[in-house]
């Protein structure tokens, strides 16, 4: 089994543009390119885990995800990292597309996407980190057994706290978060850079 890094997409890795799947509007969030480069040097697999309720809301179709993931893969490469896989939830209980208008176990804060990735890639969740910009990300990570970082950039507005929604660390951006995570792994693992493997898209 291997440790892994899980990243939320919008607001953590990319600028938070609501319901965006347009490759031309995708841009790194502040500090994200430097942070992703550091994760690439860490040598652990990296997975993006994202709620995509725009599918359930009829704002875009499943087929629209492919160009977005292709652009995301290119952005990882440009930063010196490898996208190991993109895991997404297409559901929303108040959606307008009947097929996806449902409760599920994959929409964060549920841990289903993390558990699926762990099963498919033999990931040790207890040695993994999930980084996100709202407490639903923290809850998903902690429920799955991951260590968690909250990017405190103003996107969390409700601050509903319980034992599952307390991040292990907080940081203003991905750059600072990954600096600390790199040192955390250096204390626990013999880090040897290795090439990531392009994972199967969820």
CA 20 centroid distance within chain:
16
Please check whether residue 141 is in contact with residue 148, taking contact to mean a CB–CB distance below 8 angstroms. Answer: yes
Q: Could you give the percent of the chain with pLDDT greater than 70?
A: 93
Tell me if residue 152 is catalytic: no
- Rounded Cα distance, 42 and 58, in Å: 38
Please compute the mean of the pLDDT values over residues 108-133 and round it to a whole number.
Answer: 98
- 174-202 b/e (C-beta count within 10 Å ≥ 16 → b): bbbbbeebeeebeeeeeeeeeebeebeeb
Considering the candidates 8, 137, 173, 175, report the single residue annotated as catalytic. Answer: 8
Per-residue pLDDT tens digits for 82-98: 999 999 999 999 999 99
Mean pLDDT of the chain: 93
Quick one: 159 exposed, middle or buried, by C-beta within 10 A (0-12, 13-18, 19+)?
exposed
The one catalytic residue among 10, 136, 137, 175: 10
Mean pLDDT of 32-36: 98
**Residue 146 annotated as binding?**
no
Q: Is 10 a catalytic residue?
A: yes
Ligand-binding annotation for 16, yes or no, is: no
Mean pLDDT for 118-122 is 98
Domains of the chain and any CATH numbers: 5-18+26-186 (3.40.50.1000)
Contact predicate 130/114, CB 8 Å: yes
> What number is the average pLDDT over the span 150-169?
96
How sure is the predictor about 6, in pLDDT bands with cuts at 50, 70 and 90? very high
How confident is residue 187, by pLDDT bands cut at 50, 70 and 90?
Answer: confident
What's the whole-model pTM score? Answer: 0.92
Percent of the chain, pLDDT > 90? Answer: 91
**The two structure tokens encoding residue 64:** 């629209």
Task: Quickly state the pLDDT bin for 65 (edges 50, 70, 90).
Answer: very high
Residue 133 assigned to a binding site: yes
Statement: residue 39 has pLDDT above 80: yes
Residue 201 has pLDDT above 60, yes or no: no
Q: Which helix (H) or strand (E) holds 35?
A: helix 32-42
Task: Confirm or deny that 91 is annotated as ligand binding.
Answer: yes
Q: Known binder of ligand: residue 104?
A: yes
């Amino acid at each position: 089994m291997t440790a892994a890094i899980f990243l939320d997409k919008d607001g953590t890795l990319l600028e938070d543009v609501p319901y965006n799947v347009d490759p031309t509007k995708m841009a790194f969030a502040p500090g994200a390119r430097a942070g992703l480069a550091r994760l690439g040097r860490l040598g652990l697999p990296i997975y993006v885990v994202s709620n995509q309720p725009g599918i359930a809301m009829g704002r875009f179709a499943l087929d629209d995800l492919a160009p977005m993931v292709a652009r995301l893969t290119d952005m990882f490469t440009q930063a010196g990292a490898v996208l190991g896989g993109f895991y997404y939830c297409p559901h929303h209980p108040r959606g307008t597309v009947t097929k996806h208008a449902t409760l599920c176990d994959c929409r964060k804060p549920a841990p289903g996407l993390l558990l699926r990735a762990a099963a498919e890639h033999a990931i040790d969740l207890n040695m993994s980190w999930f980084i996100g910009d709202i407490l639903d990300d923290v809850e998903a990570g902690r429920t799955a057994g991951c260590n968690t970082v909250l990017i405190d950039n103003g996107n969390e507005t409700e601050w509903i706290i319980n034992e599952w929604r307390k991040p292990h660390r907080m940081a203003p951006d991905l750059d600072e978060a990954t600096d600390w995570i790199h040192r955390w792994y250096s204390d626990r693992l013999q880090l040897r850079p290795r090439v990531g493997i392009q994972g199967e898209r969820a």
